Amino acid sequence: MDRLKLSDNIVRLRRERKITQEELADFLGVTKASVSKWENAQSTPDLMLLLQLAAFFDKTIDELIGYEAQLTREQIRHYYAELVNDFAKRPFYEAIEKTSTLAHRYYSCYPFILQLAALYLNHFMLAETEEEQKQILEEVVKWCDHILENSDDVGVCNEALMLKASAGLMLGNAVEIIDMLEPTADPIRLAGQDGMILVQAYQMAGEHEKARGYIQAREYMDLLNLVGDAAISIWLYQDDLEKCRETIRRIRTVMEQYRLEHLHPNVAAQFHFQSAAVYAANREVEEALDALRLFEKCVDRLLRAEKIVLHGDGYFDRLDAWIEKLPLGDMVPRNRKFIFQNLQEAFGRPEFESIREDPEFQRIIQHFTNH
């Protein structure tokens, strides 16, 4: 209990009330020596006395003992960065054990539990066996259900729903995911007007900068979603080469206009890589290699950066303030180690079989091997 600052709090609260140890002891029906031992951390009050102390000082039990069930945004970021580093440098089971301990300690801090779920989702593949991977994904689902059942934060719940769906998909629960998401997946649903209502409210209240910042963040997210959806689209239509070629042409134009390779090289790299995979699957060697060279430039940009962070630019000049308000700020979930690990797995995909022996393809692989 001393770890929770109970003794310090009793001393502080008693002095704020300007009463002696003896006066506090008389109120509680104990000896002055008992109060002295509490304040010197030599013993702790039993449960009923804790309740009386809390009532006397007009504090909750948590406040009295110094237990903080909720973490600040800065504390969440600190723990998350620490855990990402643990997963990169420490044995996997140690990182999992530490994460689980923190989850139990702050189980009612739903924004933190949400980030732990995302952390597991980004690292579960490091588990040695499929059964261990399954257990971690099931833990993600459990944490997300806990958030959905207890949190009243709509934003946190929406993110928890998406993480639960992602974990469920990896567990092979496709039908369950469809039942969960289909009711809200209608592209023309009226909920899409909520953002414009907020912008109009900002304008009406004279909060013009908030309106501009909000709509810019929304434009940014729409851009990322467009490119991400296009990467999925060309994968789905890979047997229709002309449609894929036209999609790639259009998206590259958008990416160039918004300078996406500088703004968010990770999203740009994913699109270029998927383009290369589609071209290679269709035995379009030169176009596949061209897309891989674009992919190579994006990844090099990520690896050259001292720190991989989210950021705005000259056009998205209000984006940094919005990013700062995100739970993890400008931190990117994965570090360089995981970039290299993903590259090794990606280049082994069967779509690249047609160009595997091509000198340029081998050069690109060797480039990242020697990086």
The CATH number of the domain holding residue 36 is 1.10.260.40
Query: So what's the pLDDT on residue 336?
Result: 55
Q: What is the mean pLDDT of residues 195-219?
A: 84
Rounded mean pLDDT of 317-328? 80
Last residue of some domain: 183, 200, 216?
183
Residues 49 and 198 in one domain: no
Q: Give the pLDDT of residue 195.
A: 65
Q: What is the CATH number of the domain that holds 106?
A: 1.25.40
The first and second tokens of residue 97, run together, are 């054990």
Which one, of 193, 243, 246, 181, lies nearest residue 218 by Cα? 193
Q: Give the residue-averaged pLDDT of 243-264.
A: 96
Domain final residue, candidates 65, 83, 98: 65
Question: What integer pLDDT is reported at residue 198 of this predicted model?
Answer: 72
Domain match, 296 and 337 both = yes
- Determine the pLDDT at residue 306: 63
96-153 residue pLDDT tens = 999 999 999 898 899 999 999 999 999 999 998 999 999 999 999 999 999 999 998 8
pLDDT band at 328 (very low <50, low <70, confident <90, very high): low
Residues 238 and 99 in one domain: no
The pLDDT of residue 334 is 53
Q: Does position 252 have pLDDT exceeding 80, yes or no?
A: yes
Whether 120 and 234 map to the same domain: the answer is: no
Give the range of the structural domain holding residue 57, as residue numbers without chain letter: 2-65
160/210 same-domain check: no
Chain mean pLDDT for the chain: 86
Cα 152 to Cα 154: distance, rounded to the nearest angstrom: 6
For residues 186-208, give the mean pLDDT. Answer: 67
Q: What is the pLDDT of residue 281?
A: 95
The full DSSP string for 297-364 is HHHHHHHHSSS-B----SSSTTHHHHHHTSTTTTB-S--HHHHHHHHHHHTTSGGGGGGTT-HHHHHH
User: What was the pLDDT predicted at 343?
Assistant: 75
Q: How many domains does the chain have?
A: 3
Residues 228 and 96 reside in one and the same domain: no
Please report which confidence band the pLDDT of residue 202 belongs to, taking 50, 70 and 90 as the band edges: confident
Q: Give the model confidence (pLDDT) of 160-185 as tens digits.
A: 998 998 899 889 888 888 888 777 65
* Per-residue pLDDT band at 67 (split at 50, 70, 90): low
Same domain? 179 vs 120:
yes
